[in-house]
């Protein structure tokens, strides 16, 4: 059945990947954007632009009109639950029949990171909405490692405050692929999926995979939480986000992220990309 699918966060990592996946399908694709000038590339790909701001609910009525299925993604921030609530309300007003939401690994009211607790608020609101829903809880994105691309390329070193913690990190391209599948296939209503890569690995193992991919030795240098925080602030990242990243580093260094699931494989019938595959695909960014 052909559906009208509205994609929020359309200029970002995961949602733009969903659009790539669904381009050329039978479905009518609409992208919610704040600034259409920034989204000309989406327009060129044949996606209809709907202008709206998730923090301005009065802009969402016309943007959501006529949708069947809605993808809700909000960037991490203190106002994420408000943004998701506004999107959900607009979806309800538009009579949407399925809402799929990007949450995060370990989202719960008792999680050790503020982002996970904020996600839990939006997950709970969606689950109580009465609208058929699906929630995706992805692990740490492999693409976060690109933050270390410069130090890897220039010094052969990557600095993180993750001690020897292991994580079942996932390639964000797999999250987009999974989301595209759920948005366009029946049978996922009422389900929550935890999306991980195929293995839980330490930063030492990740450094080894990147070394192999670029043909040069890369060393993981564990740093203190305070050293990581200072680096993040020097990069111009705000204090809320620096605190959030610190929460995650503390939790992951204690193995909070040491898990893998088979949800990706069970639903798509494919294996998720490994860290070796990611390193190979992004070897150029790491200085090969
Ligand atoms: N990084 C990780 O390891 C990880 C792991 C698990 C879950 N997550 C979750 O992944 C999500 C982030 O996904 P992402 O990396 O794809 O995000 P992203 O690349 O930062 O993109 C965010 C998108 O949201 C849009 N946006 C921001 N404010 C908006 C507003 N007020 N109204 C409408 N649109 C707005 C941005 O549009 P503009 O172009 O207008 O700015 C952009 O398209 C977060 O919920 C995070 O918690 C991340």
pLDDT of 94-126, one tens digit each? 999 999 999 999 999 999 999 999 999 999 999
What is the pLDDT confidence band of residue 71, given thresholds at 50, 70 and 90?
very high
For CATH 3.40.50.720, the residue range(s) in the chain are 4-138
**Ligand 1 pocket check for 12: Cβ under 6 Å:** yes
- Residue among 49, 57, 58, 75 to mutate when testing ligand 1 (max atoms within 8 A of CB): 75
Q: CB–CB of 287/154 below 8 Å? A: yes
Could you give the CA distance from residue 75 to residue 90 in angstroms, rounded to a whole number?
18
Q: 4-138 has which fold? A: Rossmann fold (3.40.50)
Q: pLDDT digit string (tens) for 122-166? A: 999 999 999 999 999 999 999 999 999 999 999 999 999 999 999
pTM metric for this prediction: 0.98
Decide if pLDDT at 76 tops 90: yes
Q: Is 270 in the pocket of ligand 1 (CB under 6 A)?
A: no
- Please tell me the distance between residue 271's alpha carbon and the centre of ligand 1 in angstroms: 25
% of the chain beyond a pLDDT of 70: 100
- pLDDT of 1 reads 85
- pLDDT-derived band of residue 50, with 50, 70 and 90 as boundaries? very high
> Which atom of ligand 1 has the smallest separation from the CA of 53?
32
Q: What is the mean pLDDT of residues 38-61?
A: 96
* CATH number, domain 145-166+198-258+272-281: 3.90.25.10
Cα of 9 vs centre of ligand 1, distance in Å, is 6
CB 260 within 8 A of CB 281: no
CATH code 3.90.25.10 region(s) in the chain: 145-166+198-258+272-281
| 82 Cβ below 6 A of ligand 1 | no
């Amino acid at each position: 059945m052909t559906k009208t699918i509205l994609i929020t966060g359309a200029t970002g990592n995961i949602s733009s990947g969903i659009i790539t996946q669904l381009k050329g399908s039978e479905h009518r694709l609409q992208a919610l954007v704040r600034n259409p000038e920034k989204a000309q590339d989406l327009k060129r790909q044949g996606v209809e632009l709907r202008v709206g701001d998730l923090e301005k609910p009065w802009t969402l009525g016309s943007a959501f009109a006529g949708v069947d299925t809605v993808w809700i993604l909000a960037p991490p921030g203190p106002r994420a639950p408000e943004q998701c609530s506004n999107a959900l309300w607009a979806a309800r007003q538009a009579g949407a029949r399925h809402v799929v939401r990007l949450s995060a690994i370990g989202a719960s009211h008792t999680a050790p990171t503020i982002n996970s607790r904020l996600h839990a608020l939006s997950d709970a609101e969606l689950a109580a909405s009465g609208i058929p829903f699906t929630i995706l809880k992805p692990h740490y994105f492999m693409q976060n490692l690109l933050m270390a691309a410069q130090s890897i390329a220039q010094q052969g070193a990557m600095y993180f405050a993750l001690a020897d913690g292991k994580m079942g990190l996932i390639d964000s391209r797999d999250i987009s692929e999974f989301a595209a599948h759920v948005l366009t296939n029946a049978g996922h209503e009422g389900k929550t999926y935890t999306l991980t890569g195929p293995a839980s690995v330490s930063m030492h193992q990740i450094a080894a995979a990147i070394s192999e991919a670029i043909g040069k030795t890369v060393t993981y240098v564990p740093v203190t939480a305070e050293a990581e925080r200072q680096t993040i602030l020097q990069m111009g990242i705000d204090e809320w986000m620096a605190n959030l990243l610190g929460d995650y580093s503390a939790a992951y260094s204690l193995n909070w992220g040491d898990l893998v699931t088979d949800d990706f494989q069970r639903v798509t019938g494919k294996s998720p990309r490994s860290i070796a595959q990611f390193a190979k695909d992004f070897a150029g960014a790491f200085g090969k």
